[in-house]
Structure 1
Amino acid sequence: MSGEDMLPPLAMLLSAHAGPQADRHRALWAFDARLAKVARTTSEATIGQMRLAWWNDVIEDVERRKGRGEPVVDALRATGAIGAPGLVAMIDGWEVLVAEPQVDAPGLNDYAVGRGGGLFRALADADDAPDWLVAAGQVWALWDLAGHVDDRVLAEAALTRARALLGQADGACWPGAWKPLRIAFTLARQDVIAGRGSPRGMPRTLAWRLLRIALVGR
């Protein structure tokens, strides 16, 4: 088993556009997927928070001992992604869904800033990321949440918040090295405008849209 076994199909395709940073991107997406699993499989908030705290300990372990042999941990360390900015923020974002039985508007914002903003900062390896990149990450995270929760009220709230953030990221000049993030944001943007959350899995239509965005930018 490797960290890649944790990757959703979309993350695999996006990572393929990261060039020499592909392994690092795959490790970060696998980390996000592992945190998502904690949120998805936890029924007791305290236990879920303990599981997330373990990941905080892994990140802070300068001796690189804690979690050794765990595939995602090993992948993060092997690629240098363990030192990426935004990892702790991602944990904090996912903790909102673990700790709160009902996610209110401030909680939804904290989730988006933490998970989405943190993930995009980590993928871009940008500690001092521009505000538009963090906003783009929030849009992506809210789009993804809207497509994977059964609570339609929460899904609609996520899409409403995502629409409100679009103006902060639209028109940004994406560096070439951030191509996978541009693709991810553009996919999310198209669906958010149409009032849709992310599809589950990898339908053929999503794969074709990704390819088109990669080739022509839209």
Structure 2
Amino acid sequence: MSGAEDGLPPLAILLAAHAGAQAERHRAIWGFDGRLAKVARTTSDRTIGQMRLAWWNDVIDDADNRKGRGEPVVDAMRATGAMAAPGLVAIIDGWEVLVVEPDIDAQGLRDYAVGRGGGLFRALADAEDAPAWLTAAGQVWALWDLAGHVDDVALAQAALGQARELLPQVEGARWPRAWKPLRIAFTLARADVLAGRGAPAGMPRGLALRLLRIALVGR
């Protein structure tokens, strides 16, 4: 496993495995999201957190491809073309909500979901003009993921509530074959959101079996 892949959540690794020729690019983008998650998780000073996120913005904007050279995720993103993916800045903006807001209200949850989730799904799909249902699916996924990784029960329930409200926007969507990993991710999240559950920690056997079933039969 490369440095860019080291520490990727098991779900991200399995989802990327369904991306075919785009698997390395998907892993690089998941690695980018993981680096931002670490900033949100480990930074207690919002100013320092914003500075760490701004560094990633500078890396994305560096036309000379010099800034961050040697950092495994940066190198992987450049090698796979992921650095040019749409939605990367939005992902940073989404994570910034969790870094700077001491108490996340309903608008904060929406901003987080639109940025991280919508941006992530656009980046993985490589779709600058993504359909609205795809960004809604990304928001559902991000809210599901957040609900499973916060200790604040009220915040988790609020995230799941917003996710449920978004589900009708995705119903009936026709997923292109190339977007299979995103379809799997959304379908996993959808079932748990309807059941009032956030994302589980790690990769329990039940989640792995559900992922396999979705990959094989679509639901």
Structure 1 position 6, deviation (Å): 3.0
1:27 matched residue in structure 2 = 28
The equivalences for 1:33-52 within 5 A come to 33-52=34-53
The equivalences for 1:177-192 within 5 A come to 177-192=178-193
The equivalences for 1:1-218 within 5 A come to 2-218=3-219
Structure 1 position 127, deviation (Å): 0.2
Instruction: Tell me, yes or no, if the aligned pair for 1:140 and 1:185 is still in contact at 8 Å.
Output: yes
Q: How far apart, CA to CA, are the structure 1 residues paired with 2:75 and 2:7?
A: 13
CA RMSD, 1 decimal? 0.5
Instruction: Tell me, yes or no, if the aligned pair for 1:3 and 1:71 is still in contact at 8 Å.
Output: yes
Q: How far apart, CA to CA, are the structure 2 residues paired with 1:6 and 1:134?
A: 26
Deviations 1:161-184 (A, max 9, x none): 000000001110000000000000
Structure 1 position 2, deviation (Å): 1.2
Deviations 1:92-119 (A, max 9, x none): 0000000000001111000000000000
- The letter of the residue matching 1:77 is R
Q: How far apart, CA to CA, are the structure 2 residues paired with 1:147 and 1:85?
A: 26
Q: How many residues align?
A: 218
Q: What fraction of aligned residue pairs are identical, expressed as a percent?
A: 79
- The letter of the residue matching 1:188 is A
Q: How far apart, CA to CA, are the structure 2 residues paired with 1:180 and 1:170?
A: 17
Deviations 1:114-162 (A, max 9, x none): 0000000000000000000000000000000000000111000000000
Structure 2, gaps ≥5 residues long:
none
Q: How far apart, CA to CA, are the structure 2 residues paired with 1:112 and 1:4?
A: 24
SS of the residue corresponding to residue 175 of structure 2 reads coil
The ranges of structure 1 where at least 4 consecutive aligned residues each deviate by more than 2 angstroms after the TM superposition are: none
Structure 1, gaps ≥5 residues long:
none
